[in-house]
Structure 1
Amino acid sequence: MTASTLETLYPFSQVSSQRLRYSALRRTHSQLFLELPKSAGMFFSAPGRTELCGNHTDHNLGAVVCAAVDMDIAAFATPRKDRRVRIESAGFPFLDLDVEDLAVHPVETGLSASIVRGIAKGIETLGRGKPMGFDAVMNSRIPSGSGLSSSAAYEVLIGKIFSTFSQTEISPFELAKVGQYAENVYFGKPSGLMDQMACAIGSALLIDFSRSQDPLLDPLDFDLGNHGHSLFIVGTGGSHEDLTPDYAAIPREMRAVAALFGKSELAGLRQGDLLARLPEIRLALGDRAFLRAWHFVKETQRSHALAQALREKDISRFLATVKDSGLSSLACLQNLSSPGNPREQGLLLGLALSQDCLSGKGAARVHGGGFAGTIQAFVPKEMSQGFTACMGSAFGADSVFSLHLRHHGVVCIERI
């Protein structure tokens, strides 16, 4: 997809500052890569994403509603005639590698180099030839640890640059699949497909993963600002280190319940199925496993209900569904704090303060994988200033972010 102007990507109030940002990328590129003509370059942008409903459902082939947001990774890149890739990105080590070598390198696990190799390999595996190299300067405005999925944005951005300069047609869905492949196989992180799909496709989007090889994709035309509300995320502190066992336990316990039904994932099970075998599940796997499976079934239903509310522009039903999702994450999914670190309860603190600040209006819920990190809040516009002040006093002014939904996924920008 190509976006012709910055006005199609950013709120009007940001366009001037974004133009300066993109111009700085091109200027830095010309200083770093002196041998390449400016005329060969192109601008790119890949959005972050927010989950509106469907907390921890994608890995068991449930349904989720997600949306691209205006916080993004921007790039200016030029093609090369060889297969060398060089990337300068503020805050990260300079990257220089040859994608003629597409082997998995264990020493690159968890590093950006592994993503670049994995994307190149994924494109080649699609049968689209060998992607050529490029030189790029990037700038990310997706806050670290915000749950807005900077990793997925980076993956689909790399894929878009490769495909553009190799003159290879790759659909947004294929870009998402390639990104997931790179993250799982090369980067070494198991993940579902929701993040990459949202960053590649854009807009608000219902994704039903029950057809694992061909997920149902239903774009939803919805502008929160037209309904008197603003979207915020709030970083509540806490570290994601040592939380891997907590994250991994969720899909593991869900799949353990599915196994009692002879299934590999929970997709397709109903509330009645779980209730009919409640004593057996409790005895074999414990209460938490049942509650997490119960969350999955209900949250998948909620995702479809929330999508319908968006189609009908029913903001009251949308907010009620968001609240129900948040309560289910608290009571059933149990991903708002780590059992191993009871001193850190930032998510619960953030939600308690949000509830008090909003006085029953709007809605707030955990954002992303949980256990630490960010909450998401839908705030009436007239309360936005007070909400920002309340959250800022608790967690710091630089922890409160206002977001806008974005209608475009990863794009090549024709002009700035």
Structure 2
Amino acid sequence: MSTDTAATDATEPAVDVPEGETPDPAAAATRVAADFTRLYGRAPEGVWAAPGRVNLIGEYTDFNEGFVMPLALPHAAVAAVSRRTDGVLRLHSADVDGGVVQLRVDELSPLGDVGWAGYPAGVVWALREAGHEAVRLGADVHLSSTVPTGAGLSSSAALEVVTALALNDLHALGLTRPEIARIGQRAENDFVGVPSGIMDQTASACAVEGHAIHLDCRDLSLVQVPFDPAAEGLRLLVVDTQVKHALGDGAYAERRAGCEEGARRLGVTHLRDVPFDGLADALDRLSAEAEEHVVRYVRHIVSDDHRVVRIAELLGAGDIRSIGPVLIEGHHSLRDDLRVSSPELDLVVSASVAAGAVGARMTGGGFGGSAIVLVDADAEDAVTKAVAEAFAEAGYGAPRVFPALPSAGARRLG
């Protein structure tokens, strides 16, 4: 995971998109704008969208200053927004029962109990704290999202980024896309109180259609890596187990502490600094003095950083098919070394690979959520059927399957 994937998804149900279908952003923009007008009695000044994301490879590596490789999904949070002049912030979601949440910008403070509204409100607070005085005037915001919640696909980051982009455009704040991502991260960290990293917001703000992002979490430099499975006769599927992960039980914090302990014992500031070709020696040193779980965590982080680099090289060479075994290897590391998988996630991987998938792994923070499956396009139906049958035989609820099309990042729709 990353600290991002540790983050809790926004506590609002997303608009349902029929299985196998891709959301239509133009239709969403029209609907959200019309709903804004009915709700607030005036037309919005604009409509924006920001996508959820799925992580191709690199889990729990970001707080170790390592590498991650997310891509944006076609599923997005859409926001219609207009400025106000009285310092009032009004927030409404089409996907949550209840009315408009009304707040005063000057009174926004961290860790308040405002539910889902904490994500967009946190962005306004973060912009205010960064000295962007124009946001003190207030805004009317109406939101709707097709990003599945609880699936580890960053519904919260989508809400943050779409709000930040809209206000950046309306007030001509001049923020770059990486700066918008940082505003979203600060909203989630300091206002909502979730210790996310920067991956989710970066993917939502900076993604390019037909690419994955090779993000260096040390200096936040990024490279857009071509990733077009369809061009190679492949499909990348997201399988949402519909088991909702919740990392508030301390599992995430325990793994982070274990990684920090491993780095301390190895004499580095972060596990990023342990070279892959020196991993065996590092593990030998740790085995003599560290607890067994620390050794496992170090092995996962260093090897997963290496997997990100390997996949970046393969994609750069146009060899998408060869990433399949690397994905499976990554799942085994998450299952056996980091121990953040679940029976449902393991079943997705084993059933899909047995049915002919090129590769598969859990993605995100684990303990439920989603897996990704790379399949030949002509095997998609067979693999999807095999996973569904395996779930039914195990007595699990039916998983939700949809294509992960590498999509554009946040943008204005109208």
Counterpart amino acid of residue 28 in structure 1: D
1:88 aligns with 2:89: no
**Paired residues of 1:364 and 1:377 also in contact (CA < 8 A):** yes
**Paired residues of 1:123 and 1:130 also in contact (CA < 8 A):** no
Q: 2:199 aligns with which of 166, 172, 194?
A: 194
Which SS does the other structure have where 2:150 is aligned?
coil
1:412 aligns with 2:412: yes
Deviation at 1:198, TM superposition (A): 0.4
CA distance 1:165–1:18, change in 2 (3 Å): closer
Q: Which runs of 5+ in 1 are unaligned?
A: 1-12, 338-344
- Specify the alignment match of 1:319 in structure 2: 324
- Specify the alignment match of 1:219 in structure 2: 224
**Equivalent residues, number:** 383
CA–CA distance in structure 2, aligned partners of residues 244 and 103 of structure 1: 25
CA–CA distance in structure 2, aligned partners of residues 330 and 242 of structure 1: 16
1:19 aligns with 2:12: no
Deviations 1:162-216 (A, max 9, x none): 21221211111011111111111110111111111101101310001233xxx22
Q: Which runs of 5+ in 2 are unaligned?
A: 1-20
Deviation at 1:18, TM superposition (A): 4.2
Counterpart amino acid of residue 37 in structure 2: S
1:150 aligns with 2:155: yes
- Specify the alignment match of 2:245 in structure 1: 240
**Paired residues of 1:323 and 1:365 also in contact (CA < 8 A):** yes
CA–CA distance in structure 1, aligned partners of residues 112 and 92 of structure 2: 23
Deviations 1:327-383 (A, max 9, x none): 22223222113xxxxxxx21112222112222xx41110111112221111111001
Deviation at 1:32, TM superposition (A): 0.9
**Paired residues of 1:243 and 1:371 also in contact (CA < 8 A):** no
**Paired residues of 1:346 and 1:373 also in contact (CA < 8 A):** no
Deviates more, 1:382-391 or 1:184-193: 382-391
CA–CA distance in structure 2, aligned partners of residues 175 and 300 of structure 1: 26
- Specify the alignment match of 1:74 in structure 2: 78
- Specify the alignment match of 2:39 in structure 1: 32
Which SS does the other structure have where 2:236 is aligned?
strand
Deviation at 1:73, TM superposition (A): 0.9
CA distance 1:105–1:251, change in 2 (3 Å): closer
Deviation at 1:222, TM superposition (A): 2.2
Counterpart amino acid of residue 399 in structure 1: R
Counterpart amino acid of residue 210 in structure 1: R
Deviates more, 1:274-283 or 1:44-53: 274-283
- Specify the alignment match of 1:399 in structure 2: 400
Deviation at 1:105, TM superposition (A): 4.4
CA–CA distance in structure 2, aligned partners of residues 239 and 27 of structure 1: 32
Q: Within 5 A, what are the aligned runs for 1:178-327?
A: 178-203=183-208, 204-211=212-219, 215-241=220-246, 244-271=249-276, 273-327=278-332
**Paired residues of 1:44 and 1:74 also in contact (CA < 8 A):** yes
Percent identity of the aligned residues? Answer: 26
Q: Within 5 A, what are the aligned runs for 1:369-384?
A: 369-384=365-380
CA distance 1:20–1:396, change in 2 (3 Å): farther
**Paired residues of 1:351 and 1:365 also in contact (CA < 8 A):** yes
TM-score, normalisation: structure 2: 0.86
CA–CA distance in structure 1, aligned partners of residues 284 and 230 of structure 2: 47
Which SS does the other structure have where 2:125 is aligned?
helix
TM-score, normalisation: structure 1: 0.85
- Specify the alignment match of 1:3 in structure 2: none
Deviates more, 1:50-59 or 1:229-238: 229-238
Which SS does the other structure have where 2:110 is aligned?
coil
Q: 1:176 aligns with which of 178, 181, 184?
A: 181
CA–CA distance in structure 2, aligned partners of residues 188 and 328 of structure 1: 29
1:347 aligns with 2:348: no
Deviation at 1:102, TM superposition (A): 3.2
Deviation at 1:295, TM superposition (A): 1.3
CA–CA distance in structure 2, aligned partners of residues 315 and 192 of structure 1: 27
- Specify the alignment match of 2:138 in structure 1: 133
Deviates more, 1:379-388 or 1:120-129: 120-129
- Specify the alignment match of 1:99 in structure 2: 105
Q: Within 5 A, what are the aligned runs for 1:155-166?
A: 155-166=160-171
Deviations 1:36-81 (A, max 9, x none): 2x2x521110001010111110111101111111011112222222
Counterpart amino acid of residue 120 in structure 2: V
Which SS does the other structure have where 1:316 is aligned?
coil
Deviations 1:262-318 (A, max 9, x none): 444212112465543545523543222112111111111211121121121112322
CA–CA distance in structure 2, aligned partners of residues 308 and 277 of structure 1: 25
1:124 aligns with 2:128: yes
Q: Which runs of 4+ in 1 moved over 6 A?
A: none
